[in-house]
Amino acid sequence: MLKKYINYLWQILPLLKNSWLPAGLLLVAACLFMLFSPLPDLVQNILHITFYAATFSNIALLMFYNRNRPMFFVIIILLSYMLINYLKYFHGVIYYLTPDYANLVFLSIAGMIFFYFLPDRPLFSIDTVYFLIIVFAAVALGEFLSSAEIKIDFSPLINFGCGLQIFALVLFAIMVITMLLYASIKDQILDFNMAYASVCIMIGFYASNQPSALVLFFTTAAIILLIATCRHIFFILRKDPDTGLNNAYSFLVKAKKLPLKYGLGIICVDEYRHLLQAFRKNGINNIMAMVSKKIVSIEPDAMLFRCTPDEFVIIFPQAEKGSSYGRLDEIRRQIAASEFILPRIKKPIKITVSCSIADKKRSDANVSDVFIRAHRALQKTYKFTQNITSKA
């Protein structure tokens, strides 16, 4: 029985690979708070500086790599931290009973939810202008409601937590649970890290009357998001984000370490433009992901890359001359015989691919020569027919 549960555990652990680091940082912050709180003033000052350093470094990285999805999430956290400290300074110990603080909590939760589920778009686009307007409008709304003594809070008069009343605590709990469930389904680096950063923000708000808790958990959230951005950028530089396969850059890097003999194949999805028009970007991304999983299941020992939107490059290491053709044609036949199901599409989709193969020759100087021969063979046959495997 014990071995059975251990086996289940080893099957689950790889699925949580993107959550280990943020969960560990959150656990370390919680242990530090429980064991050493209140933190010395020097430590709090260092954490305070670290928060701003991590936040502005994160913003600079996101601007450089033109990513907008986590950008506004970071901005919401930055504004929340600055405004909490301002309210504590301006109102003193009763800051958490003021309309300013209640409205800040509600608007922070709304902003974090909105930008967490925001699709990933380029930062330097017209969408960014709209999102900035939304942020400014939220700040203006908070100021207007506070000046009118209107509090967005439906809690009883009795305060439930140090910095959160029942209504805000329930909203935070719903937000965090929703984010974690969504992250577990999508299994993306940013999703998990932003969800755990939200847990830190919730704890920071809850215990905001304690300076140690406020600065410690907000700094932990800033560090988690900075690490997430670095990991995400490193991932997209080496991987195709839609399929998780190595991309063209990784192909060039790994091509230098190929053995003396191998077969290089190109797998092109037929009618890619038609599929893109019919199923849009999300649909075609799901199709390419399913096709890639099918190829990997057929040839688990081969090296598969997605170098262009409609083409995969597959390498059969140490393949004997002539054997790669049969293996690649088997991939083509099995994909043609398969049915792919997209969400919200009841009818299964049939996909065909056209392939070409070239074996490494002694006259080939490098992998580029092999790739060019395979691509020329594909172009010659693709003009006249599809769903066929050609040989260079």
Q: What is the pLDDT of residue 282?
A: 80
Out of 29-38, 44-53, 169-178, 238-247, which region has the weakest mean confidence (pLDDT)?
238-247
Confidence of residue 14 (pLDDT cuts 50, 70, 90): very low
Q: Over the stretch 243-258, which tens digit does the pLDDT of each residue have? A: 888 888 888 888 888 8
| Averaged pLDDT of the chain | 85
- Mean pLDDT computed over 301-327: 88
- Contact in structure between 356 and 298 (CB atoms under 8 Å): no
* SS3 of the chain: CHHHHHHHHHHHHHHHCCCHHHHHHHHHHHHHHHHHCCCCHHHHHHHHHHHHHHHHHHHHHHHHCCCCHHHHHHHHHHHHHHHHHHHHHHHHHHHHHCHHHHHHHHHHHHHHHHHHCCCCCCCCCHHHHHHHHHHHHHHHHHHHHHHCCCCCCCCCCCCCCCCCCHHHHHHHHHHHHHHHHHHHHHCCHHHHHHHHHHHHHHHHHHCCCCHHHHHHHHHHHHHHHHHHHHHHHHHHHHECCCCCCECHHHHHHHHCCCCCCEEEEEEEECCHHHHHHHHHHHHHHHHHHHHHHHHHHHCCCCEEEEEECCEEEEEEECCCCCHHHHHHHHHHHHHHHCCECCCCCCCCECCCEEEEEEECCCCCCCHHHHHHHHHHHHHHHHCCCCCCEEEC
Domains contained in the chain, CATH given: 16-238 (no CATH), 248-391 (3.30.70.270)
Q: What is the pLDDT of residue 204?
A: 93
Q: Is the omega angle on the peptide bond into residue 259 within 30 degrees of 0, that is, cis?
A: no
- Contact in structure between 82 and 148 (CB atoms under 8 Å): no
Instruction: State the Cα–Cα distance between residues 42 and 63, nearest whole angstrom.
Output: 32
- Mean pLDDT computed over 140-165: 74
Residue 157 above 60 pLDDT?
A: no
Residue 98 above 90 pLDDT?
A: no
Confidence of residue 16 (pLDDT cuts 50, 70, 90): low
pLDDT > 70 in the chain, percent: 93
Residue 238 above 60 pLDDT?
A: yes
- Mean pLDDT computed over 304-321: 88
Residue 308 above 50 pLDDT?
A: yes
As to burial, measured by CB atoms within 10 angstroms (0-12 exposed, 13-18 middle, 19+ buried), residue 44 is: middle
User: Which is more confident, 142 or 55?
Assistant: 55
Residue 2 above 60 pLDDT?
A: no
